[in-house]
């Protein structure tokens, strides 16, 4: 799966490498402007024989009609219109070599025969390139263009090719060309098989074309191949949806899990929860700015530093909020809801005043950018890390609540405040720290969201309703419920999207939850028993 | 029977409030239409519309107080009913534009022409008639509230859960109305109105007429609400708020009582929205936003919930403050509003009227018991 | 005795919460006009029994019939209350923000539909009945007081007054004398005995003195089912009962 990436990288390197053979090419390039079509064709053939990638831009310029002969010295140049005259560049090195009057240059004319030769020469040049990445790209280009002229070069290249991946790409390219040509049925049937194995959207399009015309045998084979590819694609499509669902679900999980602590464990409705996420995202931004300014070389690590910073900043804000406002409102959930909503407004405005209303740019470290192919799935590293991260946070929280003294105190206070107090647990402190924990986790969510969403003062607002839905759907007071709720809502959303569109899908999910709450007012994993009803 | 019922709500507080409203209904037309524009007593059309807007919000707050203050249902979705009422009125106003739209289509509103629609969607039919729109203004929010309440109350969704799903309701509606293919003008909503009942909607006299209509609607809403609250049904509602299961064991189907108050409140909110739209000249999906519902809650909290008159006072005061702040110190408005939420819940749980009642109780005599508003436990 | 002759008929009623069996195949018969005392240690299922009778909790299995014909397990709280089953809670639950008078007015037997209450006016009969109950419960001087400002004992009496106003056929009374002085306890016992003539009463109580004062048939519950039944003296002598109360 890394191979494609390596090739791309190699291709870039190859293009960046200076034309080592520039001197040798010079006379051959000059030959292009020598005179009649036949001479040009000969020069082209020689150019192709060199197998030098530096010849590629020259031929491309010729194809584009940008190649001219400078009359005074007969040099072949690339000329682009500029003002009244032409700006000239060297066709091989690409270096500018001054300007020329309109009459001082003459275009090298091409005819159809020449055009074919050019394609073949280009194909041969790139397909024979010493660089595997370039060869792979060339093969893919032929696959898309289905240029019959490239067939010869392709066969020649295939005979020499040693790299398995490039060989496969070339075989597929060949099949693509063959299927579009008037080749005998036997060849076409083989081509159908090759394309069936490739099995992506492009192959499907080609096979569909083949199923529509040609001999009966080919039609039938192509039809079968289409069905096979389609079912495979559907499978991968479902897998892709599942992945998207998992990805969205993990984002929801991150946003909701802190809420599950404050709402589920403490029974406090924190409408400013989204702002804790937002503060975490801004903390990430600040840490990153710090790295940019003082340690740009360590930029890739900035997000690792941002994690504890965001946790602590959001957690601290949470503790302050609990101590100053929420502790006066225990047992009055609706009042808490209103007060924390007010805090969320003030926090948004505070951040807006400090950082401005516009989006802030938070970059991705190199290990979080890019994507890879997993079968028919395209998975971006950023999303993958967020999924991993969400589960790590969930696991850590679970362990913290189950296995630590702090977790034990939280559970004790939740179940029986007076008893816990009598046992010597400082309940006020536990309250503050629990709220800080929930807020801190929201801050961690902010670090993750800064990678996939706009960092703006409104960041949190977009997640607060979804987070509440997750917690309510999963069942309050149950972390596993939150996990299942987040993943279920994420998947349902993504599976609805292709049919209903993103917005309607979301509306349907909301309606579903509203109806669901009617059936099970206490969520999926509700606590049962007399204590709940009291 | 009806008169006896309506007289129930007419205590001293109601008398003061209705007198103020009557004064407004007389003074505002005189000041707006009967004085020269340069007179210090003159009210500009803009001011009249602004005051009208405040009173629409007051009616919304009144509706909210009926369910929150007296039944304990904290709705975070009342803006939904308000906005639905507004859309129903907006649809009537759109149909009144007729061929005067940019595209000059006599039937289709501009946005439909723009979207290449060929004919009017079925749910737009009938809105060319005022009476039909007037019925829909109450029927649509009422029906939605009835359906929603029927399910929610029967399955005993209460407290915070109910609040959260009301919020989800208005959020879902907002997303839905933002869609162009819903047929309600998408993002832009409904605007560019020309006429209402044949009167130019921009004319000062029409504005004054709309203002007076709002005053009347508010007065009717208040009398209705305070009569209900004073009746035995109102006592049952308060009992439901304080100890719902106990009320059930007395043999009352509490779901029906909640449904009654909830649906009535939604209808009142719908009327408020319908009066709001012609006075501000636009209705769009952002009115559905959860934030506007919660803002309405703070109006009630500021004035004092469970007092009805407090809701009206709170709505007018907070919105006056909002107009002032957003013009003079826009940066500070959200701080002020946010601070208001925190301060009121922490220090003024019974709002301005509750505070006033407490102060009055400190002073001896004057029959303080009778004047005491229905207090409440934390919900 | 067949189910038709009973006022309340419980047969094989079981309820469990998260694996804990609160009621275990409980069977109980109450005759019209009878007063019954239910005793039992904590967790014996006394309150749960009241919950299943009044519709607050639905039994997993079992039959509950009222007047030998109406199946209570299929009904909701309000419907059951309207059949004529009144309940007084362990912790006095009155409407704290209403006056004593309003509490009684709400409880008073009258149409319970919203529109009927909207247009309800206190008639002469209703006023006299409320006055009468105020006298019985000795709350007459405090009729305009908010119920929240009453003392604990007064709230207990107000709740009993509300039961009277409801005029039910069967009263379920959960610990009516908890937190009362001895004199109040005695008065309460007399009051309940007065009521028992016209109505059936089930009293759940811990206070043995009070139960003795009532002088009625006693049912002992243990772990969700009936352990013993009979006069207080008889059950007091029962070895099983002694074991349960003193611990094995």
Question: What CATH number does the domain containing C10 carry?
Answer: 3.40.50.300
Contact B377 C96 (CB under 8 A): yes
Taking an 8 Å cut-off on Cβ atoms, the answer to whether A342 and B298 are in contact is: yes
Cα–Cα–Cα angle for B203, B207, B213, nearest 5°? 145
Q: Which residue of A has its CA nearest to C21?
A: A529
Confirm or reject contact between C17 and chain A (CB < 8 A): yes
Which among A475, A479, A482, A470 has a CA at the least distance from the CA of A402?
A479
Task: Please report whether residue B227 resides in a domain.
Answer: yes
pLDDT, tens digit (0-9, with 9 covering 90-100), for C145-184: 999 999 888 888 899 899 889 989 999 988 888 777 888 8
Residue A164 structure tokens: 């398995």
Q: What is the dihedral of CA C83, C84, C89, C92, to 10 degrees?
A: 120
Nearest to B335 among A269, A346, A504 (CB): A346
Q: Final residue of a domain: which of A81, A96, A120?
A: A120
The pair of structure tokens assigned to A47 is 């150019």
The number of C-beta contacts closer than 8 angstroms across B and C is 80
Who's near A297: CB < 8 A, 6+ residues apart? none
- Measured CA to CA, the distance from residue A410 to residue A438 in angstroms comes to 12
Number of other residues whose CB lies within 10 A of the CB of residue A450 = 28
- Which of A120, A151, A186 marks a domain boundary? A120
Rounded to two decimals, the pTM is 0.81
Are B178 and A503 a contacting pair at CB < 8 A?
Answer: yes
Distance from CA of C142 to the nearest CA of B (A): 13
Which of A21-30, B79-88, C114-123 holds the top average pLDDT? B79-88
All residues of chain C having their beta carbon less than 8 Å from the beta carbon of residue A532 are none
B21-80 residues touching A, CB cutoff 8 A: 74, 76
The C-alpha torsion from B93 through B97 and B98 to B100, rounded to 10°, is -170
| pLDDT value, residue B378 | 38
Instruction: Give A473→chain B minimum CA distance, Å.
Output: 10
Give the one of C17, C48, C56 whose C-beta lies nearest to A528's C-beta. Answer: C17
Using the beta-carbon criterion (under 8 Å), do C20 and A528 form an inter-chain contact? no
Question: How close A409 comes to chain B (CA, Å)?
Answer: 25
Closest-CA residue of chain B to A331: B378
Query: CB C78 to CB B252 under 8 A?
Result: yes
Residue A361 falls within a domain, yes or no?
yes
Do B4 and C87 count as a contact with CB atoms less than 8 A apart? no
B294: tokens are: 């919660």
Q: How confident is the model at residue A532 (pLDDT cuts 50, 70, 90)?
A: very low
Chosen from B249, B373, B378, B379 to mutate, greatest number of chain C CBs within 10 A: B249
CA–CA distances in Å: residue A55 to residues A20, A118, B269 = 11, 11, 76
pLDDT of residue A440: 95
Counting the structural domains of chain B, the total is 1
- Which of these ranges, A493-502, B195-204, B352-361, C7-16, has the smallest mean pLDDT? A493-502
Among chain B residues, CA nearest to A515: B151
What is residue A18's predicted lDDT score, i.e. its pLDDT?
43
Q: Beta strands of B117-198 (E only): which ranges?
A: 190-191, 195-196
Q: What CA–CA distance (Å, rounded) separates A325 from A340?
A: 8
**For residue C171, what are the β-bridge partners?**
C86, C201
B254 contacts in C (CB within 8 Å)? 78
Cβ–Cβ of C97/B228 closer than 8 Å?
no
pLDDT in tens, A268-302: 888 999 999 999 999 999 999 999 899 888 888 88
Answer whether A530 sits within 8 Å of C48, measured CB to CB: yes
**C111 contact B CB<8A:** no
Q: Whole domain around residue A61: which residue ranges?
A: 2-120
Closest CA relative to residue A342, chosen from A260, A272, A392, A447 = A272
Structural domain span for residue C125:
3-246
What would the pLDDT profile of A200-235 be if each residue is shown by its tens digit? 778 888 787 777 777 777 888 888 888 888 888 888
Query: What is the average pLDDT score of chain C?
Result: 87
Structural domains of chain A, count: 2
List CB contacts (< 8 A) between A347 and chain B. 338
Chains near C with 3+ CB pairs less than 8 A apart are: A, B
> Is the pLDDT reported for residue B94 higher than 90?
yes
CA atoms of B125 and B108, how far apart (whole Å): 11
Task: Give the end of a domain, one of A78, A95, A120.
Answer: A120
Substitution target in A477, A526, A529, A534 with the highest count of C β-carbons within 10 Å is A529
Whether B328 is covered by a domain: the verdict is no
Tell me the chain C residues in contact with residue A477 when contact means C-beta distances shorter than 8 Å: none
Residue A326 per-residue DSSP state: G
Q: Is the confidence at residue A17, as pLDDT, over 60?
A: no
Check CB contact under 8 Å for B175 and A339. Answer: no
Which chain B residue lies closest to A339 (C-alpha atoms)?
A: B342
- Three-class SS of residue C61? strand
CB A249 within 8 A of CB A491: yes
Output DSSP code: residue A109.
P
Neighbours of chain B (3+ CB pairs under 8 A): A, C
Question: How many angstroms separate the CA atoms of C105 and C131, rounded?
Answer: 10
Q: What single-letter DSSP state applies at residue C216?
A: -
pLDDT band at B227 (very low <50, low <70, confident <90, very high): very high
Are residues A473 and A276 in contact, defined by beta-carbon separation less than 8 angstroms? no
Q: Decide if C5 touches B, using CB distance below 8 A.
A: no
3-class SS at C155?
helix
Out of C76, C97, C112, name the one closest to residue B374 (CB): C97
Pick C106's closest partner by Cβ from B1, B239, B260. Answer: B239
C-alpha–C-alpha distance, residues B264 and C40, integer Å = 48
Q: Nearest-CA neighbor of B208 among B357, B55, B68?
A: B55
Burial pattern B75-93, b for ≥16 Cβ within 10 A else e, equals: bbbbbbbbbbbbbbbbbbb
In chain A, whose CA is at the least distance from the CA of B378? A332
For Cα atoms B25, B27, B29, give the angle at the middle one, nearest 5 degrees. Answer: 75
pLDDT at residue B377 above 80? no
Q: Which of residues 137-156 of C touch B (CB under 8 A)?
A: 144
Asked if C22 has any chain A CB less than 8 Å from its own CB, the reply is yes
Cα(B10)–Cα(A76) distance, rounded to whole angstroms?
101
Distance from CA of B164 to the nearest CA of A (A): 7
For residue B189, tell me if it sits in a domain. yes
Q: Are the C-beta atoms of B327 and B78 separated by less than 8 Å?
A: no
Q: Which residues of A touch B74 (CB under 8 A)?
A: 334, 337
Whether the CB-CB separation of B249 and B86 falls below 8 Å is answered with no
The answer to whether position A184 is within a domain reads: no
Q: So what's the pLDDT on residue A534?
A: 32
Radius of gyration of chain B (CA): 21
* Residue B322 placed within a domain: no
Q: Name the average pLDDT for chain A.
A: 82
Looking at this predicted complex, what is its ipTM?
0.89
Interface membership of B378 toward A (CB under 8 Å): yes
Contact B48, B28 (CB under 8 A): yes
Of C81, C98, C144, the CB nearest to B249: C81
Q: Give the distance from CA B126 to its chain's centroid.
A: 25
Q: Is residue A129 part of a domain?
A: no
Range of weakest confidence among A232-236, A530-534, B195-199, C177-181? A530-534
| pLDDT for the residue numbered C247 | 57
Is the Cβ pair A517, B301 closer than 8 Å?
Answer: no
Nearest CA in chain B to A269: B160
Domain membership of residue B154 (yes or no) is: yes
Closest chain B residue to the Cα of A268, Cα to Cα: B160
Q: Which of B94, B13, B332, B26 is nearest to A350 (CA)?
A: B332
Spell out where A46-94 has E strands.
Answer: 67-70, 76-82, 85-89
What is the tally of structural domains in chain C?
1
Q: Which of C17, C22, C224 is the best mutation test for A, with the most CBs of A within 10 A? A: C17
Does residue A168 belong to any structural domain of this protein? no
Tell which residue, B272, B288, B258, B168, has the closest CA to residue B222. Answer: B272
**First and final C-alpha spacing in chain A:** 58
Determine the Cα–Cα distance for residues B341 and B72; give it in Å rounded to an integer: 18
- Residues B254-266: tens digit of each pLDDT: 999 999 999 999 9
Range of the domain at B225: 2-302
* B74: phi then psi, degrees, rounded to nearest 5: -85, 100
Cα–Cα distance, B211 to B32 (Å, whole number):
11
> pLDDT at residue B308 above 80?
yes
Q: Is residue A230 part of a domain?
A: no
Chain B nearest C-alpha distance from A517 (Å):
7
Segment (H or E) for C15? strand C8-17
B290/A465 touch (CB, cutoff 8 Å), yes or no: yes
Question: What's the pLDDT tens digit per position in A62-119?
Answer: 877 788 888 777 788 888 877 777 888 888 777 888 787 877 788 887 787 777 777 7
Q: Is C50 in contact with B219 (CB distance < 8 Å)? A: no
Q: With an 8 Å Cβ cutoff, are B341 and A343 in contact?
A: yes
- Domain CATH number, residue A437: 1.10.3470
Which residues from A are below 8 Å from B176, CB to CB?
503-504, 507
Q: What gap in Å lies between CA A25 and CA A13, rounded to an integer? A: 21
């Amino acid at each position: 799966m890394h191979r494609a990436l390596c090739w791309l990288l190699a291709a870039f390197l190859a293009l960046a490498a200076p034309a080592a053979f520039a001197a040798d090419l010079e006379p051959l390039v000059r030959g292009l402007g020598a005179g009649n079509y036949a001479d040009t064709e000969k020069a082209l053939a020689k150019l192709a024989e060199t197998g030098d990638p530096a010849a590629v831009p020259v031929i491309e310029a010729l194809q584009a009609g940008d190649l001219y002969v400078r009359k005074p010295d007969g040099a072949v140049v690339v000329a682009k219109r500029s003002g009244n005259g032409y700006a000239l560049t060297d066709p091989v090195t690409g270096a500018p070599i001054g300007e020329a009057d309109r009459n001082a240059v003459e275009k090298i004319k091409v005819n159809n025969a020449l055009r074919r030769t050019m394609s073949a020469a280009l194909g041969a040049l790139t397909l024979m390139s010493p660089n595997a990445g370039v060869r792979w790209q060339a093969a893919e280009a032929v696959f898309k263009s289905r240029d019959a002229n490239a067939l010869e070069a392709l066969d020649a290249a295939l005979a020499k090719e040693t790299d398995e991946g490039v060989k496969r790409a070339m075989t597929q390219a060949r099949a693509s060309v063959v299927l579009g040509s008037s080749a005998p049925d036997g060849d076409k049937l083989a081509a159908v098989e090759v394309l069936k194995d490739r099995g992506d959207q492009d192959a499907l399009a080609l096979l569909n074309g083949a199923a529509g015309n040609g001999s009966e045998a080919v039609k039938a084979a192509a039809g079968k191949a289409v069905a096979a590819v389609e079912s495979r694609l559907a499978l991968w499509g479902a897998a892709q949806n599942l992945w998207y669902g998992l990805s969205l679900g993990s984002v929801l999980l991150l946003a909701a899990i802190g809420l599950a602590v404050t709402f589920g464990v403490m029974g406090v409705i924190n409408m400013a929860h989204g702002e804790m996420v937002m503060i975490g995202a801004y903390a990430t931004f600040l840490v990153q700015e710090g790295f940019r300014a003082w340690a740009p070389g360590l930029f890739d690590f900035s997000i690792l530093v941002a994690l504890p910073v965001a946790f602590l900043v959001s957690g601290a804000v949470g503790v302050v909020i609990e101590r100053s406002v929420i502790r006066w409102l225990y047992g009055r959930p609706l009042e808490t809801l209103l007060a924390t909503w007010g805090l969320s407004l003030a926090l948004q405005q505070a951040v807006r005043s400090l950082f401005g209303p516009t989006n802030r740019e938070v970059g991705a470290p190199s290990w979080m950018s890019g994507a890879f192919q997993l079968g028919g799935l395209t998975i971006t590293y950023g999303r993958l890390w967020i999924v991993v991260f969400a589960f790590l946070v969930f696991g850590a929280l679970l362990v913290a609540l189950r296995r630590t003294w702090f977790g034990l105190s939280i559970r004790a206070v939740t179940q029986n405040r007076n008893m816990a107090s009598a046992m010597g647990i400082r309940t006020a402190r536990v309250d503050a720290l629990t709220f800080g924990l929930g807020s801190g986790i929201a801050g961690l969510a902010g670090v993750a969201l800064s990678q996939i969403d706009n960092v703006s003062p409104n960041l949190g607002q977009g997640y607060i309703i979804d987070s509440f839905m997750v917690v309510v759907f999963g069942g309050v007071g149950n972390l596993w419920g939150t996990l299942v709720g987040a993943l279920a809502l994420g998947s349902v959303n993504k599976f609805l999207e292709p049919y209903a569109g993103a917005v309607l899908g979301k509306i349907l999910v909301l309606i579903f939850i509203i109806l669901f709450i009617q059936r099970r007012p206490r969520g999926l994993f509700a606590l049962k028993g007399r204590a709940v009803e009291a | 029977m009806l008169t006896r019922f309506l007289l129930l709500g007419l205590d001293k507080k109601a008398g003061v409030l209705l007198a103020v409203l009557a004064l407004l209904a007389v003074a505002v037309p005189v000041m707006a239409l009967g004085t020269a524009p340069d007179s210090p007593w003159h009210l500009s059309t803009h001011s009249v519309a602004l005051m009208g807007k405040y009173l629409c919000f007051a009616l919304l707050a009144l509706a909210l107080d009926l369910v929150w203050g007296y039944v304990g249902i904290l709705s975070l979705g009342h803006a939904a009913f308000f906005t639905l009422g507004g859309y129903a009125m907006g649809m009537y106003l759109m149909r009144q534009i007729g061929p005067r739209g940019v595209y000059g289509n006599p039937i289709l509103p501009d946005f439909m022409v723009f979207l290449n629609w060929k004919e009017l969607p079925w749910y737009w039919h009938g809105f060319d008639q005022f009476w039909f729109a007037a019925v829909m203004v109450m029927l649509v929010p009422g029906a939605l509230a009835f359906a929603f309440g029927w399910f929610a109350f029967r399955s005993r969704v209460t407290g915070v859960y109910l609040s959260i799903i009301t919020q989800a309701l208005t959020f879902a509606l907002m997303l839905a109305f933002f869609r162009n293919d819903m047929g309600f003008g998408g993002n832009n909503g409904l605007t560019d109105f020309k006429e209402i009942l044949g009167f130019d909607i921009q004319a000062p006299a029409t504005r004054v007429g709309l203002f007076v209509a709002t005053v009347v609607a508010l007065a009717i809403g208040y009398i209705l609400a305070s009569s209900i609250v004073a009746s035995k049904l109102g006592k049952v509602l308060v009992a439901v708020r304080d100890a719902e299961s106990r009320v059930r064991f007395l043999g009352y189907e509490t779901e029906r009582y909640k449904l009654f108050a909830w649906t009535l409140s939604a209808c009142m909110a719908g009327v408020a929205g319908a009066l709001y739209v012609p006075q501000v000249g636009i209705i769009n999906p952002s009115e559905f936003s959860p934030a506007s519902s919660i803002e309405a809650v703070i109006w009630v909290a500021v004035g004092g919930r469970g007092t009805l008159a407090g809701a009206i006072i709170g709505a007018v005061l907070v919105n006056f403050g909002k107009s002032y702040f957003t013009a003079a110190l826009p940066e500070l408005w959200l701080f002020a509003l946010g601070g208001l939420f925190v301060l009121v819940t922490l220090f003024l749980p019974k709002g301005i009227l509750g505070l006033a009642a407490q102060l009055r109780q400190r002073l001896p005599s004057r029959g303080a018991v009778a004047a005491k508003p229905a207090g409440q436990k934390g919900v | 005795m067949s189910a038709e002759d009973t006022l309340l008929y419980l047969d094989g009623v079981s309820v469990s919460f998260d694996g804990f069996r609160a009621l275990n195949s409980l069977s109980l018969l109450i005759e019209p006009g009878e007063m019954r005392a239910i005793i039992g240690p904590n967790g014996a299922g006394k309150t749960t029994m009241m919950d299943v009778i009044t519709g607050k909790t639905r039994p997993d299995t079992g039959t509950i019939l009222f007047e030998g014909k109406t199946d209570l397990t299929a009904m909701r709280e309000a419907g059951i209350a309207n059949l004529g089953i009144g309940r007084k809670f362990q912790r006095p639950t009155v409407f704290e923000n209403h006056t004593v008078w309003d509490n009684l007015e709400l409880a008073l037997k009258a149409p319970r539909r919203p529109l009927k209450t909207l247009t309800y006016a206190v008639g002469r009969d209703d006023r006299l009945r409320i006055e009468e109950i105020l006298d019985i419960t000795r709350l007459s001087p405090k009729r305009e007081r908010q119920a929240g400002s009453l003392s604990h004992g007064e709230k207990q009496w107000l709740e009993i007054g509300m039961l009277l106003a409801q005029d039910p056929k069967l009263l379920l009374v959960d610990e009516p004398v908890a937190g009362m002085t001895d004199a109040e306890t005695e008065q309460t016992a007399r009051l309940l005995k007065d009521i028992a003539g016209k109505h059936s009463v089930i009293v759940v109580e811990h206070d043995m003195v009070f139960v003795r004062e009532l002088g009625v048939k006693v049912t002992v519950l243990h772990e969700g089912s009936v352990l013993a039944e009979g006069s207080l003296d008889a059950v007091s002598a029962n070895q099983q009962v002694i074991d349960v109360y003193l611990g094995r």
